[in-house]
Amino acid sequence: MDNMLVSSWFHLHSSVPSSYVQPPESRPGTASVISGKAIPVIDLEEHDHAEILMQVLRASEEYGFFQVINHGVSKELMDDTMDIFKKFHGMSEVEKISESSRDPNGSCMLYTSREIKNKDCVQYWRDTLRHFCPPSGEFMEFWPQKPARYSEVVERYTQELRVLGIKILELLCEGLGLDPKYCYAEFSEKPLLLAHHYPPCPEPSLTLGAPKHRDPNLVTILFQDKDINSLQVFKDGEWILVETIPYAFVVNIGLLMQIISNGRLIGAEHRVVTNSKTARTTIAYFIRPTNENIIEPAKSLTCSDSPPIYKSITFEEFLRFFMSKGPDIEPYLLL
């Protein structure tokens, strides 16, 4: 348990430990980062419904990423939520582990680098608190009780994110020509919250906060720390920096939505780089189905001229593939 978390020992090292050094082909800087190019920013209030629908669909087809402003979540709640998670990650290691270990089944957990431990894999420069936050309120008893007001603030935040998430799912489904409520019920009943903390890194050119990957869900809604640009999206062989916009949410399409759309929407690859001066905290809300839910191309989006390209698979089976194959999962999902 000693020195389990990166945040407990990062300041003791003047160089990156060898287990955190990425292979040369994966290190930041080995692929160019596009300057002057940005993912789309969509104002959810400024335009009429048809215009917003078109913007969301186009961004999801071309980038798999976009940012939303005027989304309905108050700045006060966003500030309170970011403050709660910064306070959590600022507590002592013993307190953090104690507060995130109440459920022996692991519905709430704290870990470094990755959820699945493998001593032979390169590690990543982050600590993560994860727990379920379904609308039923289930699992709340296992949430951290510290810092003060954690449950109160995080419950309000996840309720607001659920409303926003359903709105985004409706826009995506309607844009695809599906019933706007196609992804209701079981498709979005098991959301997951991940609060990532990336401490300053002595050698940012050698390591990563998160590797190149696609998210194993329908949609991710991310709240970024202010003024720290670390998230990058891979498009057309180059990396695009996702610059922080105050009180905006970053939305990205997950692999499950790519499957449902039969490949029309992009579950875009992305990564997180580190920096040597400033800690960064982000809050990711994963819209996910229940384990029993069948993930497959929507039948109304397939025909003899456009046959399904993905298998039917339960979400539980999908997660097993994802955990074992990682970034190489997609070939195993194809028909």
| Per-residue pLDDT tens over the stretch 206-231 | 999 999 999 999 999 999 998 899 99
The secondary element (H helix, E strand) that includes residue 282 is: strand 280-287
Angle between helices 150-176 and 49-62 (to 10 degrees): 90
pLDDT of residue 120: 64
Taking residue 86's Cβ as centre, other Cβ atoms within 10 Å add up to 15
pLDDT bin (cut points 50, 70, 90) of residue 1 is: very low
Q: What is the mean pLDDT of the chain?
A: 93
pLDDT at 185: 77
Q: What is the pTM of this model?
A: 0.96
In angstroms, the Cα distances linking 174 to 112, 167, 313 are 39, 11, 23
Where residue 47 falls among pLDDT bands split at 50, 70, 90? confident
d(CA 172, CA 191): 18
Specify the DSSP element, H or E, that contains 333.
Answer: helix 330-333
And the tokens for 100?
């995130």
- Residue type at position 125: W
CATH architecture of 31-333: Sandwich (2.60)
Would you state the structure tokens that stand for residue 139, as one six-digit string?
A: 């699992």
Cα–Cα distance for residue pair 308/298, rounded to 1 Å: 9
pLDDT at 116: 62
Q: Which helix (H) or strand (E) holds 194?
A: strand 192-198
* Calpha distance 228→47 (Å, rounded): 29
Place of tokens 């996702």: 242
Q: Are the C-beta atoms of 145 and 98 separated by less than 8 Å? A: no
Distance CA 133, CA 129 (A): 13
Segment 154-193, tens digit of pLDDT: 999 999 999 999 999 999 999 999 999 999 877 899 999 9
Q: At 246, is the pLDDT very low, low, confident or very high (cuts 50, 70, 90)?
A: very high
Q: What are the b/e assignments for 30-49, b being 16+ CB within 10 Å?
A: eeeeeeeebbbebebeeeee
* Domain ranges for the chain: 31-333
3-state secondary structure of 156: helix
Cis-peptide into 147, omega within 30 deg? yes
Is the predicted pLDDT of residue 263 greater than 90, yes or no? yes
Q: What is the pLDDT of residue 2?
A: 41
Q: Which residue has the tokens 């390169």?
A: 122
Nearest alpha-carbon partner for 239 in 27, 35, 67, 23: 35
